[in-house]
Amino acid sequence: MDASVRKNEFHIVGGNEAGTVLRIPPGKVTIGSGDEANVQLQYGGVSRLHASLTPMSQRMILRDNDSKYGTWVNGEQITTPTEIVDGDLLQFGSVRVRFRQRLVTVQKRTRDNRRIKDVKEPKEKVGVAILFAAGINILGLAGNAATSFLTELTPTWSWFITPVIGLVVAVITEVIGHYRKSPEPAPRPWPGGPPPPPPRRSAPLVATVLATVILLGGGTWLITAGVSYAVGFFSGNEAGVQRLEMQTTREVQGVSVTVLGVTSTTNFTRVEILMRNGTDATISVPLFQNCSLTSDDGTTLDADTFRSSWGTDIAAGSQRKGIINFPGQVAKEGGSYALHFSTIFAQGFNAPRSISVPNIRLTAIQAEARR
Protein backbone atom coordinates (compact mmCIF):
# COMPACT_ATOMS: atom_id res chain seq x y z
CA MET A 1 0.00 0.00 0.00
CA ASP A 2 1.30 3.45 -0.85
CA ALA A 3 2.51 5.56 2.04
CA SER A 4 4.11 8.96 2.56
CA VAL A 5 7.64 8.78 3.86
CA ARG A 6 9.86 11.63 4.98
CA LYS A 7 13.16 11.51 3.09
CA ASN A 8 16.21 13.32 4.44
CA GLU A 9 19.04 14.35 2.12
CA PHE A 10 22.30 16.29 2.07
CA HIS A 11 22.92 18.43 -1.05
CA ILE A 12 26.61 19.25 -1.49
CA VAL A 13 27.23 22.98 -1.96
CA GLY A 14 30.29 24.30 -3.84
CA GLY A 15 33.31 22.51 -5.23
CA ASN A 16 33.55 20.03 -8.08
CA GLU A 17 30.67 17.93 -6.75
CA ALA A 18 28.21 20.78 -6.21
CA GLY A 19 24.66 19.51 -6.59
CA THR A 20 25.46 15.90 -5.61
CA VAL A 21 22.72 14.40 -3.44
CA LEU A 22 23.48 12.16 -0.42
CA ARG A 23 20.50 10.22 0.92
CA ILE A 24 20.30 9.88 4.68
CA PRO A 25 19.12 6.45 5.85
CA PRO A 26 16.25 6.29 8.36
CA GLY A 27 17.04 6.08 12.06
CA LYS A 28 20.15 7.25 13.81
CA VAL A 29 23.07 7.69 11.40
CA THR A 30 26.72 8.60 11.68
CA ILE A 31 28.41 11.08 9.36
CA GLY A 32 32.12 10.83 8.61
CA SER A 33 34.93 9.79 6.29
CA GLY A 34 35.31 6.22 7.60
CA ASP A 35 33.88 3.10 6.03
CA GLU A 36 31.70 2.52 9.09
CA ALA A 37 29.90 5.87 8.68
CA ASN A 38 26.32 5.68 7.37
CA VAL A 39 26.79 8.85 5.35
CA GLN A 40 30.31 9.01 3.98
CA LEU A 41 31.95 12.38 3.36
CA GLN A 42 35.47 11.70 2.16
CA TYR A 43 36.73 15.27 2.19
CA GLY A 44 39.55 17.09 3.93
CA GLY A 45 38.97 17.85 7.60
CA VAL A 46 36.19 15.26 8.02
CA SER A 47 36.81 12.83 10.91
CA ARG A 48 36.04 9.12 10.60
CA LEU A 49 32.91 9.44 12.78
CA HIS A 50 32.57 13.19 12.60
CA ALA A 51 28.95 13.68 13.74
CA SER A 52 25.67 11.86 14.30
CA LEU A 53 22.11 12.62 13.26
CA THR A 54 19.21 11.33 15.36
CA PRO A 55 15.48 11.56 14.51
CA MET A 56 13.24 12.47 17.44
CA SER A 57 9.57 12.41 16.48
CA GLN A 58 9.41 14.90 13.60
CA ARG A 59 12.69 16.60 14.61
CA MET A 60 16.27 15.93 13.50
CA ILE A 61 19.02 16.40 16.10
CA LEU A 62 22.63 16.89 14.97
CA ARG A 63 25.49 16.14 17.39
CA ASP A 64 29.23 16.69 16.93
CA ASN A 65 31.31 13.64 17.97
CA ASP A 66 34.31 15.61 19.24
CA SER A 67 35.59 15.99 15.68
CA LYS A 68 38.93 17.70 15.08
CA TYR A 69 37.59 20.65 13.11
CA GLY A 70 34.07 20.82 14.47
CA THR A 71 30.56 20.81 13.02
CA TRP A 72 28.86 24.01 11.84
CA VAL A 73 25.21 24.97 11.35
CA ASN A 74 24.43 28.12 9.35
CA GLY A 75 27.93 29.47 10.01
CA GLU A 76 28.03 28.76 13.77
CA GLN A 77 29.94 25.94 15.42
CA ILE A 78 27.78 23.67 17.56
CA THR A 79 28.96 22.23 20.89
CA THR A 80 25.65 20.70 22.04
CA PRO A 81 22.97 18.64 20.24
CA THR A 82 21.23 21.01 17.84
CA GLU A 83 18.00 20.70 15.92
CA ILE A 84 18.30 21.18 12.17
CA VAL A 85 15.47 21.93 9.77
CA ASP A 86 14.96 21.88 6.01
CA GLY A 87 17.27 24.38 4.28
CA ASP A 88 19.94 24.62 7.01
CA LEU A 89 23.54 24.91 5.75
CA LEU A 90 25.89 22.47 7.49
CA GLN A 91 29.65 22.18 7.35
CA PHE A 92 31.77 19.12 8.19
CA GLY A 93 35.49 19.75 7.71
CA SER A 94 35.95 21.32 4.27
CA VAL A 95 32.62 20.21 2.78
CA ARG A 96 29.37 22.15 3.04
CA VAL A 97 25.97 20.52 2.59
CA ARG A 98 22.39 21.74 2.72
CA PHE A 99 19.93 19.66 4.72
CA ARG A 100 16.71 18.85 2.84
CA GLN A 101 13.50 17.10 3.93
CA ARG A 102 10.80 16.00 1.52
CA LEU A 103 7.72 13.78 1.58
CA VAL A 104 7.57 11.04 -1.04
CA THR A 105 5.02 8.33 -1.83
CA VAL A 106 6.55 4.85 -1.91
CA GLN A 107 5.12 1.64 -3.31
CA LYS A 108 7.73 -0.81 -2.13
CA ARG A 109 10.84 -0.91 -0.04
CA THR A 110 13.91 0.40 -1.84
CA ARG A 111 17.56 -0.39 -1.30
CA ASP A 112 19.48 2.10 0.80
CA ASN A 113 21.96 4.15 -1.25
CA ARG A 114 24.52 6.04 0.70
CA ARG A 115 25.86 8.18 -2.13
CA ILE A 116 24.20 9.07 -5.40
CA LYS A 117 26.23 10.94 -7.95
CA ASP A 118 25.13 12.60 -11.14
CA VAL A 119 21.87 13.79 -9.52
CA LYS A 120 22.07 17.53 -9.67
CA GLU A 121 19.67 20.33 -9.12
CA PRO A 122 18.58 22.09 -12.30
CA LYS A 123 20.57 25.24 -12.78
CA GLU A 124 18.59 26.96 -15.47
CA LYS A 125 15.31 26.71 -17.26
CA VAL A 126 15.07 24.68 -20.44
CA GLY A 127 13.87 27.70 -22.38
CA VAL A 128 17.02 29.66 -21.55
CA ALA A 129 19.24 26.78 -22.68
CA ILE A 130 17.28 26.45 -25.94
CA LEU A 131 17.54 30.19 -26.65
CA PHE A 132 21.28 30.12 -25.93
CA ALA A 133 21.81 27.13 -28.24
CA ALA A 134 19.73 28.80 -30.97
CA GLY A 135 21.76 32.00 -30.63
CA ILE A 136 25.05 30.13 -31.01
CA ASN A 137 23.78 28.34 -34.12
CA ILE A 138 22.56 31.61 -35.64
CA LEU A 139 25.99 33.10 -34.93
CA GLY A 140 27.64 30.19 -36.73
CA LEU A 141 25.31 30.54 -39.73
CA ALA A 142 26.08 34.26 -39.90
CA GLY A 143 29.80 33.44 -39.84
CA ASN A 144 29.41 30.94 -42.69
CA ALA A 145 27.42 33.46 -44.72
CA ALA A 146 30.07 36.14 -44.16
CA THR A 147 32.78 33.66 -45.15
CA SER A 148 31.03 32.77 -48.41
CA PHE A 149 30.46 36.44 -49.25
CA LEU A 150 34.01 37.56 -48.49
CA THR A 151 35.68 34.67 -50.30
CA GLU A 152 33.76 35.63 -53.43
CA LEU A 153 34.98 39.23 -53.11
CA THR A 154 38.61 38.36 -52.34
CA PRO A 155 39.48 34.90 -53.66
CA THR A 156 43.19 35.45 -52.98
CA TRP A 157 42.54 35.50 -49.23
CA SER A 158 39.94 32.69 -49.20
CA TRP A 159 42.35 30.48 -47.22
CA PHE A 160 42.45 32.97 -44.34
CA ILE A 161 38.89 34.36 -44.25
CA THR A 162 37.35 31.10 -42.97
CA PRO A 163 39.60 30.73 -39.87
CA VAL A 164 39.29 34.45 -39.08
CA ILE A 165 35.48 34.23 -39.12
CA GLY A 166 35.68 31.07 -37.03
CA LEU A 167 37.92 32.84 -34.51
CA VAL A 168 35.47 35.76 -34.19
CA VAL A 169 32.58 33.35 -33.61
CA ALA A 170 34.61 31.44 -30.98
CA VAL A 171 35.49 34.65 -29.10
CA ILE A 172 31.86 35.86 -29.08
CA THR A 173 30.69 32.43 -27.90
CA GLU A 174 33.28 32.49 -25.09
CA VAL A 175 32.12 35.95 -23.97
CA ILE A 176 28.46 34.88 -23.93
CA GLY A 177 29.29 31.70 -22.02
CA HIS A 178 31.35 33.68 -19.49
CA TYR A 179 28.45 35.90 -18.51
CA ARG A 180 26.07 32.94 -18.27
CA LYS A 181 28.16 31.21 -15.60
CA SER A 182 26.93 31.76 -12.05
CA PRO A 183 29.67 32.36 -9.48
CA GLU A 184 30.35 29.45 -7.15
CA PRO A 185 29.70 30.26 -3.47
CA ALA A 186 32.86 30.45 -1.39
CA PRO A 187 33.17 28.08 1.59
CA ARG A 188 32.72 29.67 4.99
CA PRO A 189 35.95 29.65 7.05
CA TRP A 190 35.96 28.66 10.72
CA PRO A 191 38.36 29.44 13.56
CA GLY A 192 40.69 26.93 15.10
CA GLY A 193 41.34 24.82 12.04
CA PRO A 194 42.69 24.91 8.49
CA PRO A 195 40.46 26.64 5.98
CA PRO A 196 38.57 24.50 3.48
CA PRO A 197 40.00 24.19 -0.04
CA PRO A 198 39.36 27.41 -1.97
CA PRO A 199 36.77 27.23 -4.75
CA ARG A 200 37.95 27.12 -8.32
CA ARG A 201 38.03 30.58 -9.78
CA SER A 202 37.07 31.10 -13.32
CA ALA A 203 39.59 32.90 -15.46
CA PRO A 204 38.93 36.61 -16.04
CA LEU A 205 37.10 37.37 -19.26
CA VAL A 206 40.03 39.30 -20.78
CA ALA A 207 42.44 36.44 -20.06
CA THR A 208 40.01 33.88 -21.47
CA VAL A 209 39.48 35.85 -24.68
CA LEU A 210 43.23 36.46 -25.02
CA ALA A 211 43.97 32.75 -24.59
CA THR A 212 41.30 31.91 -27.17
CA VAL A 213 42.82 34.35 -29.67
CA ILE A 214 46.37 33.07 -29.10
CA LEU A 215 45.62 29.36 -29.09
CA LEU A 216 42.79 29.16 -31.59
CA GLY A 217 43.67 32.15 -33.75
CA GLY A 218 47.43 31.71 -33.77
CA GLY A 219 47.31 27.95 -34.19
CA THR A 220 44.66 28.15 -36.88
CA TRP A 221 46.57 30.87 -38.72
CA LEU A 222 49.81 28.86 -38.67
CA ILE A 223 48.08 25.71 -39.90
CA THR A 224 46.17 27.64 -42.58
CA ALA A 225 49.30 29.48 -43.72
CA GLY A 226 51.23 26.21 -43.89
CA VAL A 227 48.53 24.42 -45.85
CA SER A 228 48.06 27.42 -48.15
CA TYR A 229 51.80 27.56 -48.89
CA ALA A 230 52.01 23.80 -49.48
CA VAL A 231 49.02 23.79 -51.85
CA GLY A 232 50.35 26.82 -53.71
CA PHE A 233 53.83 25.30 -54.04
CA PHE A 234 52.72 21.88 -55.25
CA SER A 235 50.05 23.22 -57.60
CA GLY A 236 51.98 26.29 -58.77
CA ASN A 237 48.91 28.46 -58.14
CA GLU A 238 50.61 31.01 -55.89
CA ALA A 239 49.61 34.63 -55.54
CA GLY A 240 52.06 37.04 -57.12
CA VAL A 241 52.73 40.33 -58.93
CA GLN A 242 51.62 40.96 -62.51
CA ARG A 243 54.68 42.03 -64.54
CA LEU A 244 53.57 42.19 -68.20
CA GLU A 245 53.86 45.68 -69.70
CA MET A 246 51.57 44.95 -72.64
CA GLN A 247 50.17 41.92 -74.47
CA THR A 248 52.45 40.57 -77.20
CA THR A 249 51.44 38.42 -80.19
CA ARG A 250 53.47 36.43 -82.75
CA GLU A 251 52.01 34.55 -85.76
CA VAL A 252 53.82 32.00 -87.94
CA GLN A 253 52.10 30.14 -90.82
CA GLY A 254 48.62 30.46 -89.36
CA VAL A 255 49.58 29.64 -85.76
CA SER A 256 49.61 32.62 -83.40
CA VAL A 257 50.59 32.91 -79.73
CA THR A 258 49.49 35.86 -77.56
CA VAL A 259 51.10 36.42 -74.15
CA LEU A 260 48.25 37.67 -71.92
CA GLY A 261 50.08 38.01 -68.62
CA VAL A 262 53.28 37.25 -66.71
CA THR A 263 53.11 36.88 -62.91
CA SER A 264 56.05 36.62 -60.52
CA THR A 265 55.27 34.50 -57.41
CA THR A 266 57.41 33.28 -54.52
CA ASN A 267 58.67 30.22 -56.37
CA PHE A 268 57.50 30.54 -59.99
CA THR A 269 57.04 32.69 -63.05
CA ARG A 270 53.54 32.12 -64.40
CA VAL A 271 52.82 32.94 -68.09
CA GLU A 272 49.26 33.06 -69.43
CA ILE A 273 48.95 32.55 -73.18
CA LEU A 274 46.35 32.19 -75.93
CA MET A 275 47.29 29.98 -78.91
CA ARG A 276 45.19 29.99 -82.11
CA ASN A 277 45.43 27.30 -84.77
CA GLY A 278 44.54 28.85 -88.11
CA THR A 279 45.70 25.84 -90.13
CA ASP A 280 43.53 23.04 -91.53
CA ALA A 281 45.16 20.35 -89.32
CA THR A 282 45.30 19.51 -85.63
CA ILE A 283 48.52 20.58 -83.97
CA SER A 284 50.13 19.28 -80.79
CA VAL A 285 52.24 21.59 -78.61
CA PRO A 286 53.69 19.76 -75.57
CA LEU A 287 55.54 21.50 -72.74
CA PHE A 288 58.03 18.88 -71.53
CA GLN A 289 61.49 19.86 -72.76
CA ASN A 290 59.74 21.88 -75.44
CA CYS A 291 58.81 25.23 -73.83
CA SER A 292 61.16 27.79 -72.32
CA LEU A 293 61.32 31.43 -71.27
CA THR A 294 64.58 33.22 -72.09
CA SER A 295 65.88 36.65 -71.12
CA ASP A 296 68.10 38.92 -73.21
CA ASP A 297 71.15 37.85 -71.19
CA GLY A 298 70.51 34.17 -71.97
CA THR A 299 68.95 33.11 -68.62
CA THR A 300 66.47 30.32 -69.41
CA LEU A 301 63.59 28.86 -67.43
CA ASP A 302 62.05 25.53 -68.54
CA ALA A 303 58.30 24.89 -68.24
CA ASP A 304 56.99 22.64 -65.48
CA THR A 305 54.44 20.31 -67.07
CA PHE A 306 53.04 19.10 -63.74
CA ARG A 307 52.31 22.59 -62.37
CA SER A 308 51.01 24.04 -65.66
CA SER A 309 47.44 24.19 -66.89
CA TRP A 310 47.83 23.49 -70.58
CA GLY A 311 46.16 21.20 -73.10
CA THR A 312 48.54 19.79 -75.70
CA ASP A 313 46.28 19.37 -78.76
CA ILE A 314 44.57 22.22 -80.62
CA ALA A 315 42.10 21.33 -83.37
CA ALA A 316 42.11 23.09 -86.73
CA GLY A 317 40.42 26.49 -86.60
CA SER A 318 40.23 26.54 -82.78
CA GLN A 319 42.18 28.12 -79.97
CA ARG A 320 43.42 27.20 -76.51
CA LYS A 321 44.05 29.33 -73.46
CA GLY A 322 46.30 28.15 -70.63
CA ILE A 323 48.83 28.93 -67.92
CA ILE A 324 52.44 27.76 -68.08
CA ASN A 325 54.47 27.66 -64.87
CA PHE A 326 58.24 28.10 -64.92
CA PRO A 327 60.13 27.19 -61.71
CA GLY A 328 62.24 30.19 -60.75
CA GLN A 329 61.84 33.93 -61.18
CA VAL A 330 62.62 36.47 -63.82
CA ALA A 331 64.72 39.50 -62.91
CA LYS A 332 63.10 41.96 -60.48
CA GLU A 333 64.37 44.83 -62.63
CA GLY A 334 62.25 43.71 -65.56
CA GLY A 335 63.51 43.56 -69.12
CA SER A 336 62.76 41.77 -72.37
CA TYR A 337 62.02 38.05 -72.65
CA ALA A 338 61.12 35.49 -75.32
CA LEU A 339 58.77 32.52 -75.10
CA HIS A 340 59.84 29.49 -77.18
CA PHE A 341 58.03 26.35 -78.34
CA SER A 342 60.84 24.29 -79.90
CA THR A 343 58.60 21.86 -81.79
CA ILE A 344 55.03 21.95 -83.09
CA PHE A 345 53.69 18.59 -84.16
CA ALA A 346 51.11 18.79 -86.96
CA GLN A 347 48.97 16.34 -88.92
CA GLY A 348 49.96 18.03 -92.14
CA PHE A 349 52.70 20.09 -93.77
CA ASN A 350 51.37 23.66 -93.62
CA ALA A 351 51.98 24.27 -89.89
CA PRO A 352 55.19 25.83 -88.47
CA ARG A 353 57.75 23.52 -86.95
CA SER A 354 58.31 25.90 -84.02
CA ILE A 355 57.23 29.33 -82.79
CA SER A 356 58.72 32.01 -80.54
CA VAL A 357 57.26 35.19 -79.08
CA PRO A 358 60.04 37.80 -78.68
CA ASN A 359 60.04 41.21 -76.98
CA ILE A 360 57.88 40.31 -74.00
CA ARG A 361 58.43 43.42 -71.89
CA LEU A 362 58.26 43.05 -68.10
CA THR A 363 58.07 45.85 -65.54
CA ALA A 364 60.20 46.08 -62.43
CA ILE A 365 58.59 44.74 -59.26
CA GLN A 366 59.22 47.98 -57.37
CA ALA A 367 57.36 50.00 -60.02
CA GLU A 368 54.48 47.53 -59.97
CA ALA A 369 54.24 47.65 -56.17
CA ARG A 370 53.86 51.46 -56.23
CA ARG A 371 50.78 51.32 -58.42
Asked if residue 197 has pLDDT above 90, the reply is: no
Sheet with 3-13, edge to edge strand ranges: 21-24, 3-13, 95-106, 89-92, 71-73, 76-77
Residue 17 in this model has a pLDDT that exceeds 60: yes
Query: What's the pLDDT band for 102 if we cut at 50, 70, 90?
Result: confident
Answer whether residue 82 shows pLDDT above 90.
Answer: yes
Label residue 233 by pLDDT band (50, 70, 90): confident
Q: Which residue has the higher pLDDT, 339 or 3?
A: 339
Check whether 32 has a pLDDT greater than 90.
Answer: yes
Q: What is the pLDDT of residues 329-354, one digit of tens each?
A: 898 888 999 999 999 998 777 889 99
- pLDDT at residue 165 above 60? no
325 φ, ψ (degrees, to nearest 5):
-100, 135
First to last CA, the chain: 93
Helix (H, G, I), strand (E, B) or coil at 230: helix
Edge-to-edge strand list for the sheet holding 300-302: 300-302, 291-295, 335-341, 355-362
Is it the case that residue 212 has pLDDT exceeding 80?
A: no
State the DSSP code for 157.
Answer: G
Backbone phi, psi, residue 249, to 5°: -125, 145
Among 33, 25, 14, CA closest to 92:
33
358-370 pLDDT, tens digit per residue, is: 999 999 986 444 4
- The gap from C-alpha 311 to its chain's centroid, in whole angstroms, comes to 41
Q: Which residue has the higher pLDDT, 160 or 69?
A: 69
DSSP, residue by residue, 54-107: EEETTEEEEEE-S-SS-EEETTEE-SS-EEE-TT-EEEETTEEEEEEEEEEEES
3-state secondary structure of 358: strand
pLDDT computed for residue 155 by the predictor: 45
Nearest Cα residue to 31 out of 99, 117, 88, 77: 99
DSSP for residue 216? I
Q: Name every residue whose Cβ is closer than 8 Å to that of residue 286 and which is 6 or more positions away in sequence.
A: 305, 312, 343, 345
**Percent helix, strand and coil across the chain, each rounded to 5?**
25, 35, 40
- List all residues 6 or more positions away from 304 whose beta carbon is below 8 Å from its beta carbon: 236, 268, 287, 325, 326, 327
Backbone angles phi, psi at 309, to 5 degrees: -115, 90
Mean pLDDT rounded to a whole number for the chain: 78
**Confidence category of residue 154, pLDDT binned at 50, 70, 90:** very low
